[in-house]
Structure 1
Amino acid sequence: MINKLMDTLAAAVADVKDGSTVMVGGFGTAGLPNELTDALIAQGARDLTIVNNNAGNGDTGLAALLAAGRVRKIICSFPRQADSHHFDRLYRAGQLELELVPQGNLAERIRAAGAGIGGFFTPTGYGTELAKGKETRTIDGKNYVLEYPIHADVALIKAEVGDRLGNLTYRMTARNFGPIMAAAAKLTIATVHKVVEPGEIDPETVVTPGLYVKRVVKIDRAVTAAGGFKS
């Protein structure tokens, strides 16, 4: 019987290796799998390449992983904001490598990896520093830059509901990068707030099929100081 449910977060991330490329879902704090990043910190993997939309917020989640000195390189589209102090400190000290990717290109490079696409031409970035050293082409009178897919060893994502087969649905904007990251990684680990039996999720509403998910961990939903629920 297929059963992808894991008893603990520690067991789910136990075999993440040093030097891995790890995709971390989330748009800011929406859909960020904080529990999995905390488990990865405790597990001890280092020299990681992280792929995320931004470079961490405050002192928790992805920011805590950076602060712990476990990340060698980050690939993201929005590294600097008011509370990205850990990224700022490490980058300015030369302790963190940055590959800056426009947000649409980032999403498409991840999607291309899951779709088996070898590369694609995009107008975004043409004529800027981001296109330096890259192949360009003029198509129908418009200039494009060649971009390549981003593959990952591991994807850490946060979903809302899952079953033991790994089928997932998401909660509103917490969905963001999760589905494309799941398809682009060799090993996808998802947290969910609710586990149901196979068949209880309407097949028409499944966002990430279990084919792309190797491990599922149920976690409690965090409660904010205001009494509401986080995504």
Structure 2
Amino acid sequence: MNKVVTLEQAIENIKDGSTIMISGFGGNGAPHTVIDALVEKNVRDLTLICNDSGVKDFGAGRLFTNNQVKKVICSIIGPNPVSVVQHAEGTLEVELYPQGSLAEKIRAGGYGLGGVLTKAGLGTLVEEGKQKVMVQGEEYLLEEPLKAEFALIYASIGDTAGNCRYYGSAHAHAPSMAAAADYTILEVGQLVELGEIEPQDIHTQQVLVDAVVVKGGK
């Protein structure tokens, strides 16, 4: 099946108020072409689930600069002064998790787990409102799964069916996000035909990808 579409087709169902996962780390390894298309489309009141809020005007940071984000679920916002100011002014809701907990919450959402048990955050503000579970005399926080309507991920190489291979920071959360979203948009740096990527080199399989767009394409 050929899943290659135009940018317009890929994001046509992303509307105001959508919940979106965006892969990458500090904007590196992010699907910049798809993010740029969302900025141009100017959808509003988005909830983003990402490692961080990016940096100003780079990666997911562009969506904050354009005032498109209502809420962000991430591990840090400090590197992006725009999101820091928006949070201070009360226009941006921020839900922070330790980075490992965030990764595991997304993985739990993608692979059908009821949650994950962790000690990260015990005795801090992180534990407020969360269930605690005792296992063999040890106390843990129950972190519940995270899911989204859409996932936007980037891979250095992918085929027309959606199989792909990541490089560097593009690994950050992308495999789990592809599984945790109802609709996954894959942006690829290099598009190849089905069968050109060796099976053992595939990091995310085509069954988890709904649309493929090419970096810098239309």
TM-score (norm 2): 0.95
Residues 1:89 and 2:120 are matched in the alignment = no
Check the 8 A contact 1:195/1:218 in 2, yes or no: yes
Q: Distance in 2 between matches of 1:172 and 1:71?
A: 27
- Residue type at the aligned position of 2:47: T
| Mapped partners of 1:151, 1:55: distance in 2 | 18
- Aligned residue runs from structure 1 range 1-16, under 5 A: 2-6=1-5, 8-16=6-14
2:43 matched residue in structure 1: 45
Match of 1:198 in 2: 194
Contact 1:74 1:97 in 2 (8 A): yes
Distance 1:75 1:210 in 2: 27
Aligned equivalents of 1:29, 1:76: Cα separation in 2: 13
Residue 137, structure 1, aligned to residue 136, structure 2: no
- Displacement after TM superposition at 1:58 (Å): 2.1
Per the alignment, residue 158 of structure 2 pairs with: 162
- C-alpha displacement at 1:199, in angstroms? 1.0
Q: Distance in 2 between matches of 1:171 and 1:100?
A: 26
Equivalent position to 1:103, from 86, 99, 106: 99
Tell me by how many angstroms 1:220 deviates: 4.5
What displacement does 1:64 show? 1.4
CA distance in 2, matches of 1:182, 1:93: 33
Root mean square deviation, CA, Å: 1.4
* Counterpart residue number, 2:52: 54
| Correspondence list, 1:150-229, <5 A | 150-220=146-216
Percentage of matched positions with identical amino acids: 42
Give the TM-score, by structure 1 length: 0.90
Distance 1:105 1:141 in 2: 21
Q: State how far apart, in whole Å, the 2-side matches of 1:31 and 1:61 are.
A: 9
Contact in 2 for aligned 1:114/1:183 (Cα 8 Å): yes
For residue 177 of structure 2, give the secondary structure of its aligned residue in structure 1.
helix
Q: Out of 123, 139, 152, which is 2:119 matched to? A: 123
Q: CA deviation at 1:121?
A: 1.6
